[in-house]
Amino acid sequence: MLRVPAARPAHHDASDPDPWLALRLDRSLPLDDGAREDLIGSMSSWSRRCLLPLLRPLARCAIVVIQLLKLLVPRGLTSSKWLHWTIARGLARFVRPDANRLILRHFHLGSEIARFIVDNSPVDVATTPIRPRCLDDLRDGLFVRHDVNLFNLVIALNHELSRRGLELAARPLDEIDFSAIQSDPPALDRMPARWTNQLDLASAIELYTPVYQLLLSDRDFWRASNSLQLDETIAIYVARILGDASLLGLVNNRHPLVPESTLRAGHRLLLHGLGTEVLHAALVELKERQRSAGDAGPRRAAALGALGYGASTPSPRKDATPCTDSTDSTSATTTTA
């Protein structure tokens, strides 16, 4: 983990502070350091400064036009296979390596959080992890599968909880199962870094949103857009398990009972990615805290043993009478059994 420098950076100009330097040093949000660097690298790029202001209004106009076309020809141009092939090829040829790493990383983190919820619920439901290593893996319908998995998790989990009359409940930190949460970053292949790979994450998302709408059915596109608002739903599940409602402040896409317009789907997808990163980083911190607390016990016992404490069981006082109460003996035997 990177550490915040104790001293002010030498290149800092107090009369003209660098906003990106401030965000690199800021630790108000839990966030993996590699993901932070990739996100800042993409967000501070020339393409976001110069291209995004042009692409965003054009992309949103295209969404309106495509929506009107869908009314006339609902399924005329739909092809999930062609959509994912187009996205995978476009990312490999035109999108920055840092943005591509964030995209692939997102599938891994989402799968881990979903499994964490199930592992710590009183019921067991199936999850379908998605763990791409390279951009070609996206061709296997991963974007649509990701949206479908989120809704299937909500449906299966709540159906089973309701059927058995149970609910998600808070657990002590030492009883929470963090086995699904990986502290190390996902193993990804090296991303393409040709001279053409210049497009930042925000611009790429805005550009691909109308393509996504064009090549999916209206129902699939609406579900994909609405799935972004499941961020708060997932955060509520995690907060109930941890007994910490402050986690809800880490997400910006609010509950899907009041759906947002699809016009802002591109920007909300960015917020969805950030919310997933932050929630996962918070769980990694708690996992490390649990591990540290578990290691502290044996270390303390070893230290006391070195000082002569706890090395042997103290002998009973001579005037003390051992307890032979039959009720206590029975209770102890029952508990042991």
Q: What is the pLDDT of residues 289-305, one digit of tens each?
A: 999 988 765 555 555 55
pLDDT of 14? 82
Query: Is the pLDDT score of 319 beyond 70?
Result: no
Is residue 216 a contact partner of residue 76, using CB atoms and an 8 Å limit?
no
What whole-number distance in Å separates Cα of residue 245 and Cα of residue 247? 5
pLDDT of 294? 80
Query: Is the pLDDT score of 227 beyond 60?
Result: yes
Cross-strand pairs, 199: 95
The DSSP output letter for 254 is -
Mean of the per-residue pLDDT values of the chain: 86
Helix axes 230-242, 142-163, angle to 10 degrees: 50
Q: How many C-beta atoms lie closer than 10 Å to residue 35's C-beta?
A: 23
Reduce the DSSP state of residue 95 to 3 states and report it: strand
pLDDT of 300? 54
Confidence tier at 321 by pLDDT (50, 70, 90): very low
pLDDT of 199? 97
Instruction: Report the range of poorest mean pLDDT among 216-220, 229-233, 262-266, 302-306.
Output: 302-306
Instruction: Give 164-232 as a DSSP string.
Output: TT-------GGG---TT--SSPP--PPPP--TT--B-HHHHHHHHHHHHHHHS-HHHHHHHHHHTTHHH
What whole-number distance in Å separates Cα of residue 121 and Cα of residue 137? 31
What are 288's two structure tokens? 């490390």
Query: Is the pLDDT score of 276 beyond 90?
Result: yes
Place of tokens 């763990």: 131
pLDDT of 312? 42
Higher per-residue confidence, 196 vs 325: 196
Sign of CA dihedral 221, 209, 196, 31: negative
Amino acid (one-letter) located at 219: R
Q: What is the pLDDT of residues 62-93, one digit of tens each?
A: 999 999 988 888 777 889 999 999 999 999 99
Higher per-residue confidence, 334 vs 221: 221
pLDDT of 326? 40
Q: pTM of the prediction?
A: 0.83
pLDDT of 253? 86
Query: Is the pLDDT score of 211 beyond 50?
Result: yes
Confidence tier at 218 by pLDDT (50, 70, 90): confident
pLDDT of 298? 56
Confidence tier at 308 by pLDDT (50, 70, 90): low
Confidence tier at 327 by pLDDT (50, 70, 90): very low
What whole-number distance in Å separates Cα of residue 29 and Cα of residue 279? 9
Query: Is the pLDDT score of 315 beyond 60?
Result: no
Is residue 145 a contact partner of residue 131, using CB atoms and an 8 Å limit?
no
Q: What is the pLDDT of residues 158-197, one digit of tens each?
A: 999 999 999 999 999 999 999 999 999 999 999 999 999 9
What whole-number distance in Å separates Cα of residue 274 and Cα of residue 278? 6
124-146 in b/e burial notation, b at 16+ Cβ within 10 A? ebebeebebeebebbbeebbbbb
